[in-house]
Amino acid sequence: MVDRTSEGFSGAKAAEIVGITYRQLDYWARTDLVRPSLEDAKGSGSRRRYSYRDLLELKVIKSLLDAGIKLESVREVFSYLQENLGEDVTTANLVIQGNQAVLVRDGGELIDLVRQGQGVLNVLALAGVVEDVDARIVELRPAAPEVATVTPLASGH
């Protein structure tokens, strides 16, 4: 397997890899959604160079757009992810339905990203429920009565 983490990608190649148009890529860079981390454009004729991590971030953005989330909301979601997850937004698990994107944090916490962190919920892990109920049943089950040894009475007393 080839290590792509240290390789740089031109804007045209980055757009092709991610599955977006060069125009989209250019717009996202000019509006600071994702700027190339290896080399930014410095005037006419200069070329942008995107890192592997940049490609991953671009793909996350494309996935959010493909799921039907508007670009304005994608900007907010992506900004929240960068601020709260640090460098690697690709470690996030998102649940997307309609125009909603929810971040699933460790421990099962859900955060509504479109509302910028409002609407925090907790996920109920059903496997834990089964284990808890099973353990409680065992705890509360009465101990089986001890079987008494019955000695038959001798007849003809």
The whole-angstrom distance between residue 78's C-alpha and the CA centroid of its chain comes to 12
Residue 57 domain-assigned (yes or no): yes
Q: What share of the chain is helix, strand, coil (3-state, %, to 5)?
A: 40, 15, 45
Residue 71 domain-assigned (yes or no): no
* Range among 59-63, 80-84, 85-89, 139-143 with highest mean pLDDT value: 59-63
pTM over 0.75: no
Going by pLDDT thresholds of 50, 70 and 90, the confidence category of residue 123 is very low
The whole-angstrom distance between residue 61's C-alpha and the CA centroid of its chain comes to 13
d(CA 67, CA 114): 13
Indicate which CATH number applies to the domain containing 8. Answer: 1.10.1660.10
Q: Residue written as tokens 């421990």? A: 107
Residue 54 domain-assigned (yes or no): yes
Residue 18 domain-assigned (yes or no): yes
**Domain region containing 36:** 1-66
